[in-house]
Amino acid sequence: MKTTVQNPDLARFVEAGTLYLGAPEAAELVRRHGVAACIEAIAANIRADFLRWADFDKTARVAAHSDVGVIELMPVADAQRYSFKYVNGHPGNTRLGLSTVMAFGVLADVATGAPLFLSELTLTTALRTAAMSALAAKVLARPDSRVMALIGNGAQSEFQALAFQHLLGITELRVYDVDPAASAKLVGNLQGSGLRVTVCASTAEAVRGADIVTTVTADKRNALILTPEMIQPGMHLNAVGGDCPGKTELHGDILHASKVFVEYEPQSRIEGEIQHQPADFAVTEFWQVLRGERSGRDSTDQVTVFDSVGFALEDFSALRFMQQTAEHLGLGERIALVPPLADPKNLFGSLRATTAVAA
């Protein structure tokens, strides 16, 4: 006799299997809910989850590096839910017609280990990265910030632009990419957004006059996208592209002249802009600012840096949103990711043919 399952998510899993949200369905979800609304909702989830930071079992992501890219697993859990994300980063993929970043993830029930939700996370990662960037800037940047420079105009750029427009009130975007076609793509995609977009001939030109500078470049190497002479008092720097060992975007002197914030320090020490800094280089974990345990920006003229590498808790927050919204909109399908067994102790019996042969 089966015991009645009290957890609604687990009850649906027992009855019909894992909810699967594929890439086409995720895109439909975002179209129907709206890009800005999705980013805002994910940002709200991230804020709520960061405020209960101590509730989570956290670890730096597990990475397999090669000469051409990286493949990573990003796990995190609280007492009710476990999540992980599989994600790669291969800058050369576009030559093969593949995305630089591809991802999927799972939300599971801690009490049973049941995989409740399996989802694409390529599109969702772009949404949650933008949500995290905008949330950090809302807390750390000057409240009167209206102009943002966006360096790197690839797959993440439109999401970053819309996040800063809708969550911070950015009205003007100054953009630069080494590939002019990427900037043209960005301009085309932002038509009708209400943002005033200026394509610049260099990083230095784009940064000039900006209140916020977001760097989201893809090359897997140490680079100097921003150098000290480009930085003006009061700027907020949102460094997104430096997200693995050997890959940075900021000159080290910028960090020494700024107040630096990170997501999860043990991971950022390995992968972030601070990877080449001594172990005693001072940083503040962002959750501490949200909880009021540490200060954020200390003055109008202070330069702040959010050294963002992406952390598993942000994907946990995004997966919660995608699952809830998919169920609300009736999107996705139930799949037998785990074998349905009449007798849970008889896995071998599932190999028997179930179709009777006609006499």
What's the rounded mean pLDDT across residues 26-45?
A: 98
| H runs (alpha helix) in 190-303 | 203-207, 252-256, 265-271, 286-290
What's the rounded mean pLDDT across residues 300-307?
A: 98
What percent of the chain stands above pLDDT 90? 85
Strand partners for 334: 19
Query: By the 8 A CB rule, do 156 and 185 touch?
Result: no
The pTM of this model reads: 0.94
Per-residue pLDDT for 357 more than 70? Answer: no
What percent of the chain stands above pLDDT 70? 95
Any catalytic annotation for residue 243?
yes
Catalytic residue among 243, 280, 298, 315: 243
Structure confidence by residue, pLDDT tens digits, 145-200 = 999 999 999 999 999 999 999 999 999 999 999 999 999 999 999 999 999 999 99
Chain length of the chain:
359
Strand partners for 119: 21, 105
Per-residue pLDDT for 325 more than 70? Answer: yes
Per-residue pLDDT for 356 more than 60? Answer: no
Q: What is the pLDDT of residue 1?
A: 45
Per-residue pLDDT for 314 more than 90? Answer: yes
